[in-house]
Structure 1
Amino acid sequence: MGHPVMFDEGDAALQRIREIALAFPGAAERVSHGRPNFFTTKTFCYYGGSERGDHVGARHDRAILIRPDPADEPALRQDPRFWEPAYLWPAGWLGVDLPVSDRDDSGWTEVAELIDASYRVTAPKTLVRELDERTSPAG
């Protein structure tokens, strides 16, 4: 028996995460442990999760789990908006709830930047180069 589905296919925030995540070279989506996750050869973003420790079971359904850039990780860990996700925290993953408003452009810009950083940490170098070529002024 598989895990129960823990997301709503019609969730507007999930649709926005899909638009961001699936725009990366080689990115695909699958459902794992009842939640959408986005990957190349490794997962770079989960949609939804729960906190570790005393909060296990406290679901964050409108959140992303990401692997931060190692240079940014200490600062993110000091930011009270970020939390350690159950099971994934030992591997350096962090969770953050999504902006309350789908119209919060600055919040969604940050979400896109966090997903970009996570992609760069987990994706093969060839795909990161392809991303850089796409986004460079000469590309």
Structure 2
Amino acid sequence: MAHPKMFDDDDPVLELVRSIALALPGAQEKISHGRPAFHTVKVHCYYGGSVKAGGEWIAHEQSVLLHLPAAETRALAEDPRGFLPAYLGPSGWIGLDLDERTEQDELAELIEESYRTVAPKRLIARLEDPA
């Protein structure tokens, strides 16, 4: 059964995430479980997530899910914007709520760091030497 679409194409926060994520070498977008997923061979970030609390699903519509090194994941877990996403959280992923006040530089650094944890070495090398 196909998942319903769980995002708005006109969302300006999605457009910011999309512009950052797709600027990375070899990055592409696909829809996974109703949400935008940015990937090369493996997914390096998702747009939107949810948590289950008290038997209820709580959507984090404007958020990014990232696969970061453990120290950064722990730091974001302490940030009021951070959350442990359903399904992916136990595998080391962390969610970060976004809004119009989100700093583009911080978001770009986090998405690139997530990319570096899963992208092939040949693509990561292009970050250092784009020629």
TM over 0.5: yes
SS in 1 for 2:54: helix
Aligned length: 131
The answer on 1:117 being equivalent to 2:113 is: yes
Q: CA deviation at 1:54?
A: 3.5
Structure 1: runs of 5 or more not aligned: none
Q: Which residue of 1 aligns with 2:54?
A: 54
Q: Which amino acid aligns with 2:110?
A: L
For 1:85 and 1:55, the matched residues in 2 are separated by: 14
Q: Which residue of 2 aligns with 1:130?
A: 126
For 2:55 and 2:20, the matched residues in 1 are separated by: 28
For 1:55 and 1:46, the matched residues in 2 are separated by: 23
Q: Which amino acid aligns with 1:9?
A: D
TM-score, scaled relative to structure 1: 0.86
Q: Which has the higher strand share?
A: 2
Superimposed CA distance per residue, residues 73-132 of structure 1 (whole angstroms, 9 cap, x where no aligned partner): 22222223211000001110000111x32xx4x622111111010000010111111111
TM-score, scaled relative to structure 2: 0.91
Matches within 5 A, 1:38-117: 38-54=38-54, 57-98=57-98, 100-101=99-100, 104=101, 107-117=103-113
Q: CA deviation at 1:56?
A: 5.2
SS in 2 for 1:58: strand
SS in 2 for 1:59: strand
For 1:122 and 1:55, the matched residues in 2 are separated by: 32
The change in CA–CA distance for 1:116 and 1:58 in structure 2 (over 3 A counts) is same
The change in CA–CA distance for 1:62 and 1:55 in structure 2 (over 3 A counts) is farther
Identity %: 47
For 2:95 and 2:111, the matched residues in 1 are separated by: 11
SS in 2 for 1:10: coil
Root-mean-square deviation (CA, aligned residues, Å) is 1.7
Runs of 4+ residues deviating >6 angstroms? none
Structure 2: runs of 5 or more not aligned: none
